[in-house]
Every structure is written in C-alpha cells, then in structure tokens.
Chain A
Amino acid sequence: MPLPYYVSPEQMMKDKAEYARKGISRGRSIVTLEIRDGILLVAENPSTLLHKISEIYDRIAFAGVGKYNEFENLRIAGIRHADIKGYSYSRGDVTAKALANAYSQALGNIFTQDIKPFEVEVLVAEVAEANGSRNEIYHILYDGTIEDEHNYAAMGGQADEIRRFLKDHYRDALPLDEALQLGVRALTVTQNKTLSERDLEVAVLDRTKERRKFRRIPPEALSQLLGTQR
C-alpha cells in the first residue's frame, strides 16, 4: 500500500492561505463607510444582476468579494440564520455579531478541514439605532479571522491601498453624496480609470428608514449623487 506522503501542517496552511489570497486579490474591491445617516457600501461591479452587496435583515447588510458562488452560498446561509432567529425570538434579537461569528466559524472550519479553502472575504454591517449606539462592521477573512472595523473598511484585490487612502481622507458624518464620491475615489486609487455609475453597485443601511434599513441606490440616482448627470 502506498503511503500518503507527509506534508507538515504549517506548510499546508501556508499553501491554502496563499491559494485563497491569490483568488481574492484577483477580484474587484468593496468599500464600506460610516456616514451621517448610516453605513454606505460601494462595490465595483459591472453586473446589475449578480450582486455583491445584499440585505440580510432589518439593520444588517452583507458584502462579499472573491468567488461568486462561494460568497453567494454564505449570503443565503446568513439570510436563513437571520430569518429563523427573528422568527423564533423577535426581530430585535437578530444581531450582526452573532452572524459574523457564525461566518467566522464556518470559514474557519472550511479552511482547516476542506482541501480547498473558500476564496472569499465577507463583511457584515449593522447600522445603529438612532439613539446613539454604535454601528458595527465585521470583516471576516477566508480562514475565519474576524475583525471589527471602525469608520471605514475595504476588502478585495486592492484593499491595502484603499485602506491607506481612506485613512488619510475619511471624515466623520459625511453626507451620502460626499461619502459616495470618496468611496468611488478610493476604489480607483490604484487604477488609472474613472468608474461611472454603470460600473458600481451601491447600497446604504439608511437609519432614517422604517424597519428595513437596506436600500439599493439605482444607477439614475447614482449619477445624480456623483454629479455626473448629463
């Protein structure tokens, strides 16, 4: 009987991480910003039908970069988790923290146990109630590492450059149009191109909305906010 040849766990993890990182770095990026009336999510995404950003629950949104089928799977699992929890307890009991931990567990398990790790990073954002509590933004990596972010977050191919740019340019309590312009500038920071409303997928968790805070911004409204309307 041939012996399976030995690979040290260290080497195996390293290889997997490199593999996952490579997959993610090929993808386009997503920027998340805390703004005056909530949380803004901006993705570079030329498709209007295959979303990278989506609604999970009343105050919670999801964003994913990397391999579409993998983060889409995670998105649906998240909606299922949230809807079951909200149905069996109450709508207020569904939190981003529990969801982010579930994602972290799932991705961590896949990373250590499966041959192929997920080539994704996901972000879970929860907009605060109006009365002074804080927004929550969780960023979960391919190996289950979980971080909570403040003010801004970036993931995808050029995440490091974007983060550096936002560190210098982010300001508190920006109104939607200025925040959007900043987000788009951040997405193009490493590239010599301009993004039009057709290349963008944008959504906000809008604190001023009733119950379901998630709102997509359609292309027509985008061009208005970007000031590129002809």
Chain B
Amino acid sequence: MNDEHWQHQFREYGNSSFSDLLRRDSPHLFPSPAAARPPLEQPAAPELVPHGTTVLALRYRDGVIMAGDRQATAGYQVASRRIEKIFKADDLSGVGIAGAAGPAMEMAKLFQTELEHYEKVEGDNLSLDGKANKLGQMIRMNLQAAMMGLAVVPIFAGFDEKAGVGRLFKYDITGGRYEEKDYDAQGSGSKDARDSLKKLWKRDMGRDDALRVTLEALIDAADEDVGTGGPDLVRGIYPTVKTITRSGFGDVADDEVKRVCEAILADRARTGNGG
C-alpha cells in the first residue's frame, strides 16, 4: 500500500509530458479520435473539411528549409488563401502540416506545447529523435479519424545539435516515422514537388540556391495540382518559407520570397522552361 503511494508519486513527478497531463487532468480538451469521430454509420465528409495541400522540407548547407503554399482546399473549393502550414515547434525544429487542416493545426499546437512543457519542466531540450518520436505517437492517436478521411500527415524537420546537421522526417497516417536524407514533400501536390526536387536538389547548396529550389518545387506543385496555390501576384500572397539552422528557427521575409518567385516566373516566361 505504502509502496504504491510513493511509486505513484514518482511516476507522477517524473512525467514531463504535456499530452499525458492533458489527458489526465482535462480529458475534455484532449483532441481524441473519439471526440472527432462522427457516428460510424455516417462517414465523415472529407470534401467539406479544408485540407492543407503542399508542404516540403529539404536539407541545405546550414540546416533545413521548410516551405508550404498558402492555400487550403475543401473539395473543389478554395477554403482559404492565406493559411499557414509551417509552424515553429521550438527553437530548433518545425512542423509542416498537410491533410485535414483543423486536426492538423490542433496537433501542431499540442506538439508545440508538449516541447515547451518538457523544456521548462526538465530544464533541457528533447533530442531531435525524441521530438520526432513524440509527433509520431500523436499521429497514431489520430488513426481512427484518419480512417474516416481526416488524415494528418506532417513533415517534421529540425537541426540536430548533437550531430550538427539538419534532419527531416516524414510520417504515414499510422504514425510510422521515416527519416529522409535530402528532401521530402507531403500533401496533394507532393508528388510534383518531389519530382521537381529530384532534379534540382544538390548536396551542400547555399541558402540562395536552396531557396530558389524550394520555390521552383512549390511553383511546379501549384502548376500541376489543382489543390495547391501558387504565388498570388494580385493579392500579394507568397509561400511560407522558414529556415532552421544552428542559430534557430528563422523566417524568410516575404519580400525575398516575392523576388525569387518573380525571378523564377520571369525565367520561365523567357525560356519556355517548365511550361
């Protein structure tokens, strides 16, 4: 009896996971599949739910670049033109979300809180592998909803302080985690983005080259996939691009993205390349 008491205390104290805490203390806030799940005989209608389309991550000399288009698509409709799909997870990592936008953003938020909570309680950061694993577990918890058409399949990328390199991970709907060496894309335009990256990506690219390759791939995805939004010159909406390096998680300014996008489009108009 007494043993049980101290063992409970030990477990309770030694737990620095925010999602465990949430499930225990405030289960109503926990994004559980049971809450998100419609009655079984009535299948979800994924075409009514906004979906994020294309996100990608690639390695370059200083770390990784993550980028995504800005469009959310519901069926054949544009649900939003300005959605953000790349989220800062902590100072040295980020999540790019694809799939059902609502659950995906909720997952990103929970993941951010999870990492920060751990960092504050333990006074230390999780390892990059630890973070990648945790995200995999969260995706697995969403499996039931995924089977109903509300899948969430993020890309996770970050700078591994121990190894001194950028690394990236992709996932499947069951939470399976696969480390990719050089680049990867996720979402409806991912195949086109990957094709593009396959031809353009090179080892040890500098920041400028890597940025150009990133945007080429996103423009290709927008070109070929109806769900993916391209650079919107009229409204001034450009893809989100983030860099993650030894010195942290950084934005690439809209002006710079705009300049590179315009250069790519001008080159294509001039040479007929990519037509």
Contacts and interface: CB of A to CB of B under 8 A. Distances in A.
A158 B101 CA distance: 55
B25 A84 contact: yes
B177 interface: no
A79 B121 contact: yes
A1 to B, nearest CB: 24
B150 interface: no
Nearest to B91: A212
B117 A79 contact: yes
A136 interface: no
B142 to A, nearest CB: 17
B26 A55 contact: no
Given A55-B120, A76-B121, A84 B26 contact: yes
Interface in B82-128: 109-110, 113, 116-117, 120-121, 123
Interface string A79-99: 110011011100000000000
B26 to A, nearest CB: 6
Interface residues of B, number: 15
A56 B119 CA distance: 11
Nearest to A76: B121
A51 interface: yes
A170 B110 CA distance: 43
Interface residues of A, number: 13
Interface string A55-77: 11000000000000000010010
A86 B113 contact: yes
B253 to A, nearest CB: 16
B102 to A, nearest CB: 16
B6 interface: no
A55 to B, nearest CB: 5
B138 to A, nearest CB: 14
A88 B29 contact: yes
A54 interface: yes
Given A51-B123, A54-B123, A83 B116 contact: yes
Interface in B24-45: 25-26, 29
A55 B120 CA distance: 6
Given A76-B13, A87-B18, 10 more contacts: A51-B123, A54-B123, A79-B121, A83-B18, A83-B21, A83-B113, A84-B22, A84-B25, A87-B113, A88-B26
Interface of A: 51, 54-56, 73, 76, 79-80, 83-84, 86-88
Enumerate the 6 nearest inter-chain pairs by beta-carbon distance, A residue then B residue, closest first.
A83-B117, A79-B120, A87-B113, A88-B29, A55-B120, A79-B121
